[in-house]
A and B are shown apart, each in its own frame.
Chain A
Amino acid sequence: MFSLLRSMWLVFLHMFHKRETYQYPEEKAPLPARWRGRIALTRDPDGGERCVGCYLCAAACPVDCISLQATEDEHGRRYPEFFRINFSRCIFCGFCEEACPTYAIQLLPDFEMAEYNRQNLVYEKENLLINSQGKYPGYNYYKVAGMAIGGKDKGEAEREEPPVDIKSLLP
């Protein structure tokens, strides 16, 4: 009986405590930098697309909301021909970000994506690409990958030794 009265009194005292609410449209809640919100495709430091169209994000996606088609340009550099994320199905789990080998797909601290029309939630590549390197500034996949690509032969990447000629016996 006493504990009931005590809890009633304590709850009553909450009247004079500070409110915890964020008055949302005027006052935004501070989102942490690693908040899993809107998905974006980031770019290299030199402005090229990071995505190499490996389909790992589409494979990792538990709700199958990512679809893309890989293609190659004249230098042999892979990029997605189209890249489509259906945000009406996306659950913002971040698995695509974890799966991405080139840090191309990243989740940003932004959640204000409401639309009146469901179709408007299907984002195409031009909607997803942002002019930024996202969370990994300075990272350039093709600069560190051992793959030959236009303007860069094998062994010319950063921290890479020239390829070993396996047909030669010389050291």
Chain B
Amino acid sequence: MSAGHHWLVIGGVLFVLLNTAAGLIWLERRMLALWQDRYGPNRAGPFGILVVLADTLKLFFKEDWIPPFADKVVFVFAPAVVVASVLLSFTVIPFAPNVLVADFNVGLLFFLAMSSMGVYSIVLGGWASNNKYALLGAMRGASQMISYEVFMGLSVMGVVILSGSFNLREIVEAQKSGWYILPQIVGFFIFLIAGIAETHRLPFDIPEAESELVAGFHSEYSGMKFGMFFIGEYMGITLISAMVVTLYFGGWLGPAFLPPVIWFVLKTFAFIMLFILLRASMPRPRYDQLMEYGWKILFPLSLVNLLITAAIKLML
């Protein structure tokens, strides 16, 4: 891989990601509308796609307000953390055989590390806002994300045992004989649920539950700082979808009539659609139910999954 190609990949990934995150605003609104018998934004531009532009302009021109009672440095710093951590996670994801930013030999652990860093944005944002709703949101966010991170890591270990590597490129290549969705179906479901909780998406959007806590941890945020949280959430969806595809659905692998990148993007978008469908159809669980579900069902299940996978791997 030449240096020029490398820079091209970095620039391309960054460009595509940021545009995907913005485009998801439109996609999500259109799809939600579709599933609720509405049209969604359809005025600005073809199919209303320019609503993204309008939204972004609006966010940029809003008053950039820092509450006088907030901790200013941390308040400004918090939204940057979520975007930075998600973007850094994308460096290890192999989009195609030679389209990846960093061929990192502990890529999977790097992903887990970055997703655990993402918790800080919620905790710090909620704490720095100095507002009780924000603090409650931060509290919920921290406990939810820490606990779901535990079995997110555990569920992924099944894949690691099967492929014998932390390197995501090698994991994809190990799936040439068969995608890991079949042997790791339990792990897949646990990873998906933990991923939804990790991005605090709708069935598990407990940190920002707008019907209970005004807007949770970002109650006090406005303008582009709120936009960063927003973009971070959409990039988080993309990240979890891309990870699911990489770990369980064979990444770029697919019949040869389409180039590998297209396969990857297609699969990723299928999972993004699933995320949006979940938002359209699921009610929000109560907070203690969520924690109980995590620790009493998913956690033992992921341990059992790990144990069985390891045992079978040893026997074969």
Q: Is B181 close to A, CB under 8 A? A: no
A114 at the interface (CB under 8 A from B): no
Cα separation A19 to B37 with both chains bound (whole Å)? 5
Residue of A10, A14, A23 with most chain B CB atoms under a 10 A cut-off: A14
A7 at the interface (CB under 8 A from B): yes
A contact residues around B38 at 8 Å (CB): 19-21
Q: B42: nearest residue on chain A (CB-CB)?
A: A23
Q: Mark A9-38, 1 if CB is under 8 A from B, else 0.
A: 011101101111101000000000000000
Residues of B within 8 A of A166 (CB): none
- Tell me whether B39 and A11 are in contact (CB under 8 A): no
Contact B281 A17 (CB under 8 A): no
Chain A residue nearest to B31 in the complex (CB): A15
With a cutoff of 8 Å between Cβ atoms, the chain B residues found around residue A14 in the complex are: 34-37
Assess whether B280 is interfacial by the CB under 8 Å rule. Answer: yes
Report the interface size for chain B: residues with CB under 8 A from the other chain: 11
In the complex, residue of chain B having the shortest beta-carbon distance to the beta carbon of A9:
B281
CA of A15 to CA of B37 in the docked complex: distance in angstroms? 7
- Enumerate chain A residues within 8 angstroms of B39, measured Cβ to Cβ: 19, 21, 23
Q: State A10–B38 Cα separation when bound (angstroms).
A: 16
For A11, the chain B residues whose CB sits under 8 A away are: 35, 277, 280-281
Q: Does A4 contact B (CB under 8 A)?
A: yes
Which residues does chain B contribute within 8 Å of A17, judged by CB atoms? 37
CB contact list, B21-40 vs A, under 8 A:
34-39
Lowest 9 A-B CB distances belong to which pairs? A11-B281, A20-B37, A8-B281, A21-B39, A14-B35, A21-B38, A11-B35, A7-B281, A11-B280
> Which A residues form the contact surface with B (CB < 8 A)?
4, 7-8, 10-12, 14-15, 17-21, 23
27 A-B pairs with C-beta separation under 8 A: A4-B282, A7-B282, A8-B277, A8-B278, A8-B281, A8-B282, A10-B281, A11-B277, A11-B280, A12-B35, A12-B277, A14-B34, A14-B35, A14-B36, A14-B37, A15-B34, A15-B35, A17-B37, A18-B37, A19-B37, A19-B39, A20-B37, A20-B38, A21-B37, A21-B38, A21-B39, A23-B39
